């Protein structure tokens, strides 16, 4: 286990013991980027770009992401790209309690209410890729 993994487990146990499993789940979800990177790093050095993606794929340009609430240029480009792909995938697949939205609706959300969170240039590239018949 990584150095942060025991802390991760203790945190989850504390929330569960307090009778708040929903908070435990949220806390675990918000720590998975750093814990995952630590676990992989325990097996050898990580490339800087790989680490940026692992740690930053849930960061958002407006600072609303996690685990560090990075903003703007503080979110590495590689993390923005993978984060956008992950967000698009999340929107276009069924999730517990939320049905998938159509790809065109997902793009509309990324250009509209979610726009402050994502890189507009990358959204335009995604839109062009999808229009050209790229992977949905």
Q: What is the pTM of this model?
A: 0.80
Rounded to 5 degrees, what are φ and ψ at 95? Answer: -130, 155
The rounded distance, in Å, linking the Cα atoms of 54 and 40 is 10
Give per-residue pLDDT as tens, 13-57: 666 666 667 777 777 788 889 988 888 888 888 899 999 999 999
- The CATH number of 47-136 is 1.10.3210.10
Q: What is the CA radius of gyration of the chain?
A: 17
Q: Is the peptide bond between 44 and the residue preceding it cis, with omega within 30 degrees of 0? A: no
**Residue spans per domain, the chain:** 1-46, 47-136
Q: What contacts 51, CB < 8 A, 6 or more positions away?
A: 37, 41
pLDDT of residue 28: 76
The rounded distance, in Å, linking the Cα atoms of 124 and 130 is 10
């Amino acid at each position: 286990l990584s150095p942060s993994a025991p802390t991760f487990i203790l945190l989850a146990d504390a929330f569960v013991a307090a009778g708040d499993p929903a908070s435990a789940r949220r806390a675990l979800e918000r720590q998975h980027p750093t814990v995952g990177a630590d676990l992989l790093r325990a097996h050898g050095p990580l490339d800087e770009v790989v680490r940026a993606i692992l740690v930053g794929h849930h960061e958002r340009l407006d600072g609303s992401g996690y685990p560090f609430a990075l903003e703007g240029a503080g979110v590495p480009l590689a993390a923005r790209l993978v984060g956008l792909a992950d967000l698009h995938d999340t929107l276009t697949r069924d999730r517990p309690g939320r049905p998938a939205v159509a790809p065109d609706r997902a793009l509309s959300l990324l250009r509209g209410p979610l726009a402050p969170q994502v890189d507009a240039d990358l959204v335009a590239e995604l839109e062009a890729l999808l229009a050209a018949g790229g992977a949905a």
